[in-house]
């Protein structure tokens, strides 16, 4: 956030909202009555930016469904779905550093926007750059929805729990919202699920209240090394073996458990498999191929192995919940029953709640599952023994510039033509570049997933060794930060 047309500030918020408003008015005849949902988190300037966005819509006689206090991100797409709104806006930068903020747009289906909407909105913004509103004062078109939407949202979460297990929820745990907005929503959801368990929730005091400077962590991202150290310390002091965490806008969910004196921080793949198995075992007594779960091209293949063994289907998408949400709705339109979706970056989606990742819903469902499992780490080892062992190793490098990122990927992609025969002393079995749409494994070399020229992602499948049955390695850019990510997935039968 700073001055400049390529930065987030009051002017660019107004310009962006003017372009979005004009696009909606041209595309959807009922935009004014359907309205837009607006929410914001606790970051610097989030409240001001939300007020400015609301004023732009009101100046065009568009109803604003207004969250009048801090909310976690999933409440915006939830309200879009319930209110049948034309769009939703959440002012947040999720788990990015403190200097950042963002403007997240949902379409009328409650999904993050994808092409061609994103390009058309960008074009509309460029046609509506002259500011027409500077006064963020509210009007009669601004309708407060916090109480009604949160009550409805909690009911949606509770309705998918096993009532008997939710009633017991015996697992004590430590919780951190990581200086974000999650505590209010986590505490309310847990208490409604089981009044008994709220007394067994220990909150990390130093991180309990919203603070846009995130003073106790270098990066407010539960994936980052050290981000859960304070929560683990709190758990050690309280003699509690389980830590649950949300990122600052509470759309992501992280878990750590102390086993035999050692803390294990679960990967997103591990939490995803545990939740997927719980959803499967709780809701699909006789699964068919019309029962579907989704994951992404950078997540573990373990879910596909479980699906093959148990009789349900798994669909793989491009990275990001904009694709998981869109594909979920497409599958539902075909009559499929979509139960769950996840991505390895700590995101978990329950389509009957929202079409986006939801850290609060994931936490409550996870606690309900733990009431049956006891130890989630022990349950994970049981699943490994049953379906095979899958190991995820993730790393990243912060890039100083877009030009440097491009240079890195060009060098990697040009190792050989059309791709290298070996990497790390292993034979390359398959090479897929979703930037160009190339896939060596298909008959016409067209990738099995849509190409995305605006992102960088190359995946290669490597032959097995004496220690494993194969490796899938992906190099890609981050969708939210200047990072180059490396993700290695290894599997074997143990």
* CB-based contact 383:277 (threshold 8 Å): yes
Count of alpha carbons within 13 angstroms of residue 260, beta-carbon side: 2
Q: What is each CA distance from 127 to 50, 211, 473, in whole angstroms?
A: 22, 36, 42
Residue 439 scores a pLDDT above 70: yes
Q: How far apart are CA 109 and CA 87, in angstroms?
A: 8
Which range (26-30, 138-142, 490-494) has the least confidence?
A: 490-494
pLDDT of residue 139: 84
Residue 163 scores a pLDDT above 70: no
Mean residue pLDDT across the chain: 90
Determine phi and psi for 91, rounding to 5 degrees. Answer: -90, 105
Q: How far apart are CA 133 and CA 10, in angstroms?
A: 11
The secondary structure of 272-288 as a DSSP string is HHHHHHHHHHHH-TT--
DSSP β-ladder status, 483-492 and 389-398: antiparallel
Which range (64-78, 180-194, 410-424, 448-462) has the least confidence?
A: 410-424
R_g (Cα) of the chain, nearest Å: 22
Nearest Cα residue to 314 out of 353, 279, 355: 279
Residue 290 scores a pLDDT above 60: yes
pLDDT digits (tens, 9 = 90+) for 311-366: 999 999 988 999 999 999 999 999 999 999 999 989 999 999 999 999 999 999 99
Q: How far apart are CA 33 and CA 85, in angstroms?
A: 8
Nearest Cα residue to 33 out of 69, 62, 9: 62
Q: How far apart are CA 286 and CA 318, in angstroms?
A: 29
Determine phi and psi for 463, rounding to 5 degrees. Answer: -65, 160
3-class DSSP state of 248: coil
pLDDT of residue 270: 96
pLDDT of residue 429: 87
* CB-based contact 463:455 (threshold 8 Å): no
At residue 468 the predicted structure's pLDDT band, cuts being 50, 70 and 90, is: low
299: which residues sit within 8 A by CB, 6+ positions away? 268, 269, 272, 342, 343, 344
pLDDT digits (tens, 9 = 90+) for 389-412: 888 777 777 888 888 888 888 777
Beta bridge partners of 446: 438
Q: How far apart are CA 370 and CA 275, in angstroms?
A: 10
pLDDT of residue 229: 97
Residue 203 scores a pLDDT above 60: yes
- Which residues are tagged catalytic? 94
* CB-based contact 143:5 (threshold 8 Å): no
Please, what's the b/e burial string for 42-52 (b: 16 or more CB within 10 A of its CB; e: otherwise)?
Answer: bbebbbebbbb
Q: How far apart are CA 183 and CA 188, in angstroms?
A: 8
At residue 473 the predicted structure's pLDDT band, cuts being 50, 70 and 90, is: confident
Nearest Cα residue to 92 out of 289, 341, 442, 359: 359
Q: Cα dihedral sign for 78, 79, 81, 82?
A: positive
Q: How far apart are CA 195 and CA 193, in angstroms?
A: 7
């Amino acid at each position: 956030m700073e001055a400049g047309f390529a930065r987030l500030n009051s002017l660019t918020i107004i310009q962006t909202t003017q372009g979005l408003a004009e696009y909606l008015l041209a595309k959807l005849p009922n935009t004014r009555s359907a309205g837009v949902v607006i929410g914001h988190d606790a970051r610097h300037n989030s409240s001001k930016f939300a007020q400015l966005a609301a004023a732009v819509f009101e100046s065009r006689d568009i109803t604003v469904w207004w969250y009048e206090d801090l909310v976690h991100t999933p409440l915006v797409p939830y309200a879009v779905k319930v209110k049948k709104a034309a769009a939703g806006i959440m002012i947040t930068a999720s788990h990015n550093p403190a200097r950042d903020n963002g403007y997240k747009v949902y379409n009328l289906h409650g999904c993050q926007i994808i092409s061609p909407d994103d390009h058309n909105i960008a074009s509309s913004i460029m046609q509506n750059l002259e500011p027409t509103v500077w006064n963020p004062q509210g009007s009669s078109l601004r309708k407060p929805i916090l109480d009604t939407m949160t009550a409805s949202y909690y009911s949606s979460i509770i309705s998918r729990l096993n009532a008997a297990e939710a009633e017991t929820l015996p697992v004590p745990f430590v919780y951190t919202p990581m200086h974000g907005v999650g505590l209010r929503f986590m505490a309310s959801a847990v208490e409604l699920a089981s009044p008994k368990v709220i007394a067994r929730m220990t909150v990390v005091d130093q991180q309990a209240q919203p603070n846009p400077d995130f003073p106790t962590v270098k990066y407010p991202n539960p994936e980052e090394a050290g981000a859960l150290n304070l929560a683990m310390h709190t758990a050690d002091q309280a003699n509690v073996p389980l830590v649950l965490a949300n990122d600052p806008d509470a759309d992501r969910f992280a878990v750590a458990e102390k086993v035999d004196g050692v803390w294990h921080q679960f990967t997103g793949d591990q939490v995803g498999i545990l939740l997927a198995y719980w959803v499967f075992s709780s809701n699909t007594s006789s699964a068919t191929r019309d029962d579907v779960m989704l994951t992404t091209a950078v997540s573990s293949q373990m879910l596909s192995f479980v699906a093959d063994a148990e009789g349900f289907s798994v669909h793989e998408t491009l990275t990001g919940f904009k694709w998981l949400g869109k594909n979920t709705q497409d599958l539902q339109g075909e009559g499929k029953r979509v139960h769950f979706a996840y991505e390895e970056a700590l995101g978990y989606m329950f389509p009957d709640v929202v079409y986006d990742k939801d850290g609060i819903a994931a936490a409550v469902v996870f606690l309900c599952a733990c009431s049956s499992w006891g130890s989630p780490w022990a349950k994970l080892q049981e699943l490994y023994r049953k379906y095979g062992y899958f190991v995820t190793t993730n790393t990243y490098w912060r890039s100083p510039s877009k030009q440097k990122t491009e240079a890195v990927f060009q060098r990697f992609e040009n190792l050989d033509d059309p791709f290298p025969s070996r990497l790390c002393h292993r034979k390359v079995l398959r090479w897929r570049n979703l930037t160009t749409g190339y896939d060596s494994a298909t008959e016409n070399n067209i990738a099995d997933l849509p190409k995305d020229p605006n992102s960088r992602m190359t995946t290669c499948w490597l032959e097995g060794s004496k220690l494993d049955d194969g490796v899938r390695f992906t190099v890609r850019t981050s969708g939210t930060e200047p990072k180059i990510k490396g993700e290695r997935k290894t599997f074997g039968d143990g």
